[in-house]
A and B are shown apart, each in its own frame.
Chain A
């Protein structure tokens, strides 16, 4: 234990670097002789490439080379893959179409790279890119993915009906039987809007090929540099792993979009070798809008069956998930195993059946985005619950309480085995925090001002801490999802922690240091966290799915166990005591019940001088652990949102928002609150503001901040947060993960509040002023008709 240990609200160590502009991002990397790359991109959503003329571009000032898709194919650089294999309900494998780095013949979404221009400067490369003449034969595009089978076909020969996989989970016959005997059935059509990730730092890559060593170094904006190296080596034939170093330095936000290996960094590695000079590519904001993997985009029909006492007896969900033009790295898992497995929510539901159709369209590839499948599941479950309560004339709180799971562990019918939480307790705390009893008075006060006030609930559960390797392997994952840690204690007692996770905003430099401080009493300033470099950290799986704390932190914890054991054995030897009697307190190793003690740094130094080690003990103090979790972790919470809707304009203002979460043990409350704030901002953004729009020709209409509405500070209220700290028994730290909860739980709370205010259940996200105004008009028309 220490003042800076687990549970301490210490300020982030990394903030000084970031807020003073000293961060080192990929675009900050400058290499001698470095050249600049710019991509020529398709202006069409679907077209045949009939010719590419690079002759004028090659004559432009400063141009070094122009690379085409055929060049990359001829070099033996392989196609991009989806790394999670799933099967249709008839047993056939998913239909993964070839995903070229730069397809030489066909473009399938606006922004797809067609040629890569390498020049002395970026400005010269931009000029030359304009001089590359590409002739296209335009083809009709598929954007209305709900009618995927009607065509046009995205990948003829692979998926002629555009259906990648007709996947299912659960027992359909049992669920149908439950519906047959049900007293009430509630049905809804639910759309989960498509989002564009918008990390603050656009994607970037710097590739350096060392001819003497036949070795490539790639700096890139990655959430998982080791996975990038593995995939680029094993599947894309960029270079063998021992000849490829991937460095992800400071990365300015990912939200999932930087998990995947994209065409640009592969092309950069090829180009660096081809032109014999380092190559830098950095996306501009328009490229980020067009080419970062998008998120969500589901069309769902859901129905829930209840008995006469309003207990849920069955739940049936049919979803069409748009994966875009190509299958991105984890695109198959996001709308299947990360989605349907959470359809039980916080409720006892004996029978659940989900059918998900994954389809191609002529749009940017879609993959995991903050929450990845769980926001989509939570939105379906929690909108159903609120709607059902309204139809039954019950309070939404009462209907939830009637169906909450109380006994743990709880096995759902959709694979998950929930660890303990307290759903009633989370609801109780949320109601208290928002002063639910005072709500009628607040509503009356709003009405006096001519405003419509509504309240909405969302009791989410999610599965993160991704994930037990054996479990995900059995479901089709191409990798294991353990994590590694190495603890290097220096002779002076300072500590270096090497982690296979990656921080792109998650505060690892602080929270992981706190885990060390907690154990040895060293100040967090004496602990360095090293990550994001395949030459420093031996291997790791990176950061996504709120796994850094539960999996990466647990690996650190396990490695610390080994360091502690060795340090105690050495201290015992030096003090002629029994190792079992050594206690670590305030940075000292003491013999219990005596005044004998050694300072931490004295023991560390003794390990390295090695003048007096116990028999058989090796010198040094460095330990490694590979930790594989035994279960997913299950953060849960209840969010309550209060809105005021202006009936004249349809404008919604969030006037009150409470989030009460169970994240297990909290390492740093301030960091956790920051994660919740950011997640809520994204969730509220999805509910009120953000929506990616393509027109019928597949043109991206929301390709800039002029048209894509990002949440701003004044769109958000001051959040009321609280926590229940229920230890997670499945990992040694007792943590559950907090990175995605806000984005998972917020959207239904907001929409439930607005629909409560305006008196209709039919409202799509984003709930723009016009949509809300129209919904109000429709309720007034309906009332007039009655």
Chain B
């Protein structure tokens, strides 16, 4: 790791001012990607601006038909919090599948969404649960927020404050792990929200997390596994690597979507 400076931000404005003053500074949340990248000497920020102490980024609450989670909330909290488990058990279950206990006790929801790793889990939940992502500058619908692999609508100095998920009528997450890294190779979040059925896929899309309109459309005619398993996914839109070819991933999307739909009941 190259030398760097640690700074604990005291407010959103303070954090924004610090990063404005130093173009090579980086926001730090749980650090479960950034610190590993720095240890590999693949990133060399001059300063790490820690956001996890900011009170605005904390808290879990139900507001109307939505579950609102502070961006600095750690995966382990999401996995075990009674409010989350009561409102959206599939989201708590998803959080429990991320990484290992050490990762879950450091990594945060905001950090995961801002990083938008194509194999991360939360982006699938955000897409399927019509999440609204509130930042230091405004609000985004999840569908507008994720713009490509490791890319989001965030500006360099923009901070995710909280994420609000619609509490679905039913939902389930079916995760298929890369056998080596145990990240998602292909995982599907199926939900029924007020806007209709949602199928969101992570780990497989060559532009990152994506929804499958054909499956959602099929589910409007009846919530059955068969409705989605017959939908063909174009391998041209899939990632391909030594752990799973595009063809295999395209096949998995249909299989896992069917299982997620069945699991949601």
Interface stretch of the complex, out of B45-53, B90-98, B198-206, B238-246 = B238-246
B256 closest partner in A (C-beta)? A649
B179 closest partner in A (C-beta)? A709
The answer, among A701, A707, A710, A773, for a CB contact under 8 Å with B248, is A773
**Which residues of chain B come closer than 8 Å to A185, judged between CB atoms?**
none
Question: Does any Cβ of A come within 8 Å of B180's Cβ?
Answer: yes
Complex contact A707–B243 (CB within 8 A): yes
A399: min CB distance to chain B, Å: 33
CA gap between A250 and B107 in the complex, in Å:
34
Interface size on B, residues (CB 8 A): 17
Question: Does any Cβ of A come within 8 Å of B251's Cβ?
Answer: yes
Instruction: Given the known inter-chain contacts A648-B255, A649-B252, A649-B255, please indicate yes or no for A709 contacting B180, CB distance below 8 A.
Output: yes
A650 closest partner in B (C-beta)? B248
Complex contact B255–A707 (CB within 8 A): no
The answer, among B2, B248, B255, for a CB contact under 8 Å with A770, is B248
Question: Does any Cβ of A come within 8 Å of B181's Cβ?
Answer: yes
Instruction: Given the known inter-chain contacts A648-B255, A773-B248, A773-B251, please indicate yes or no for A701 contacting B181, CB distance below 8 A.
Output: no
Question: Does any Cβ of A come within 8 Å of B176's Cβ?
Answer: yes
Query: Which residues of A196-251 are within 8 A (CB) of B?
Result: none
Query: Which residues of B211-265 are within 8 A (CB) of A?
Result: 242-245, 248, 251-252, 255-256, 259
CA gap between A705 and B180 in the complex, in Å:
6
Instruction: Given the known inter-chain contacts A648-B255, A649-B252, A649-B255, please indicate yes or no for A708 contacting B245, CB distance below 8 A.
Output: no
**Which residues of chain A come closer than 8 Å to B259, judged between CB atoms?**
648
Query: Which residues of A751-784 are within 8 A (CB) of B?
Result: 768-770, 773-774
**Which residues of chain A come closer than 8 Å to B256, judged between CB atoms?**
649
The answer, among A127, A648, A707, A773, for a CB contact under 8 Å with B180, is A707
CA gap between A688 and B255 in the complex, in Å:
21
B83: min CB distance to chain A, Å: 29
**Which residues of chain B come closer than 8 Å to A701, judged between CB atoms?**
242
**Which residues of chain A come closer than 8 Å to B244, judged between CB atoms?**
769-770
**Which residues of chain A come closer than 8 Å to B179, judged between CB atoms?**
688-689, 709, 768-769
Complex contact B180–A706 (CB within 8 A): yes
**Which residues of chain B come closer than 8 Å to A708, judged between CB atoms?**
180
Proximity string of chain A (1-30) to chain B, C-beta cutoff 8 Å, 1 when within and 0 when not? 000000000000000000000000000000
A706 closest partner in B (C-beta)? B181
Question: Does any Cβ of B come within 8 Å of A693's Cβ?
Answer: yes
CA gap between A710 and B259 in the complex, in Å:
27
A693 closest partner in B (C-beta)? B242
B129: min CB distance to chain A, Å: 25
CA gap between A297 and B248 in the complex, in Å:
26
**Which residues of chain A come closer than 8 Å to B180, judged between CB atoms?**
689, 702, 705-710
Query: Which residues of A365-404 are within 8 A (CB) of B?
Result: none
A647: min CB distance to chain B, Å: 10
Instruction: Given the known inter-chain contacts A649-B176, A768-B179, please indicate yes or no for A707 contacting B251, CB distance below 8 A.
Output: no
**Which residues of chain A come closer than 8 Å to B251, judged between CB atoms?**
773
B122: min CB distance to chain A, Å: 19
CA gap between A702 and B241 in the complex, in Å:
12
Proximity string of chain A (683-699) to chain B, C-beta cutoff 8 Å, 1 when within and 0 when not? 00000110001000000
**Which residues of chain B come closer than 8 Å to A706, judged between CB atoms?**
180-181, 183
A774 closest partner in B (C-beta)? B248
Interface size on A, residues (CB 8 A): 21
**Which residues of chain B come closer than 8 Å to A707, judged between CB atoms?**
180-181, 242-243
The answer, among B41, B181, B243, B248, for a CB contact under 8 Å with A705, is B181
B2 closest partner in A (C-beta)? A127
CA gap between A389 and B252 in the complex, in Å:
34
Instruction: Given the known inter-chain contacts A689-B179, A707-B181, please indicate yes or no for A768 contacting B252, CB distance below 8 A.
Output: no
CA gap between A769 and B181 in the complex, in Å:
15
**Which residues of chain A come closer than 8 Å to B252, judged between CB atoms?**
649
B248 closest partner in A (C-beta)? A770
Complex contact A770–B245 (CB within 8 A): yes
A351: min CB distance to chain B, Å: 41
CA gap between A649 and B174 in the complex, in Å:
12
A715 closest partner in B (C-beta)? B179
B229 closest partner in A (C-beta)? A648
CA gap between A689 and B183 in the complex, in Å:
15
CA gap between A769 and B249 in the complex, in Å:
11
CA gap between A320 and B181 in the complex, in Å:
31
**Which residues of chain B come closer than 8 Å to A774, judged between CB atoms?**
248
B15: min CB distance to chain A, Å: 28
CA gap between A649 and B250 in the complex, in Å:
11
B185 closest partner in A (C-beta)? A769
Instruction: Name the residue in A127, A689, A702, A706 with the highest tally of chain B Cβ atoms < 10 Å from its Cβ.
Output: A706
B241 closest partner in A (C-beta)? A707
CA gap between A702 and B179 in the complex, in Å:
13
CA gap between A710 and B182 in the complex, in Å:
11
CA gap between A130 and B255 in the complex, in Å:
47
Proximity string of chain B (165-191) to chain A, C-beta cutoff 8 Å, 1 when within and 0 when not? 000000000001001110100000000
A769 closest partner in B (C-beta)? B179
B144: min CB distance to chain A, Å: 30
B101: min CB distance to chain A, Å: 13
CA gap between A648 and B188 in the complex, in Å:
15
A777 closest partner in B (C-beta)? B251
CA gap between A457 and B16 in the complex, in Å:
64
The answer, among A648, A688, A768, for a CB contact under 8 Å with B243, is A768
**Which residues of chain B come closer than 8 Å to A689, judged between CB atoms?**
179-180
Instruction: Name the residue in B176, B181, B183, B256 with the highest tally of chain A Cβ atoms < 10 Å from its Cβ.
Output: B181
B254 closest partner in A (C-beta)? A648
CA gap between A770 and B238 in the complex, in Å:
15
**Which residues of chain B come closer than 8 Å to A710, judged between CB atoms?**
180
**Which residues of chain B come closer than 8 Å to A702, judged between CB atoms?**
180, 242
**Which residues of chain A come closer than 8 Å to B183, judged between CB atoms?**
706
CA gap between A706 and B99 in the complex, in Å:
12
CA gap between A708 and B256 in the complex, in Å:
24
A541: min CB distance to chain B, Å: 36
Query: Which residues of B21-58 are within 8 A (CB) of A?
Result: 41
CA gap between A769 and B2 in the complex, in Å:
39
**Which residues of chain A come closer than 8 Å to B248, judged between CB atoms?**
769-770, 773-774
CA gap between A577 and B245 in the complex, in Å:
81
**Which residues of chain B come closer than 8 Å to A709, judged between CB atoms?**
179-180
Q: Which 7 A-B pairs have the closest CB atoms?
A: A709-B180, A709-B179, A648-B255, A706-B181, A770-B248, A707-B180, A689-B179
Could you list which residues of chain A lie within 8 angstroms of chain B, going by C-beta atoms?
126-127, 130, 648-649, 688-689, 693, 701-702, 705-710, 768-770, 773-774
Q: List 12 A-B contacts (CB under 8 A).
A: A127-B2, A649-B255, A649-B256, A689-B179, A705-B180, A706-B181, A709-B179, A709-B180, A710-B180, A768-B179, A769-B248, A774-B248
Given contacts A649-B255, A707-B180, list 12 more A-B pairs with CB under 8 A.
A648-B259, A649-B176, A649-B256, A689-B179, A693-B242, A706-B180, A707-B181, A707-B242, A768-B179, A769-B244, A770-B244, A773-B251
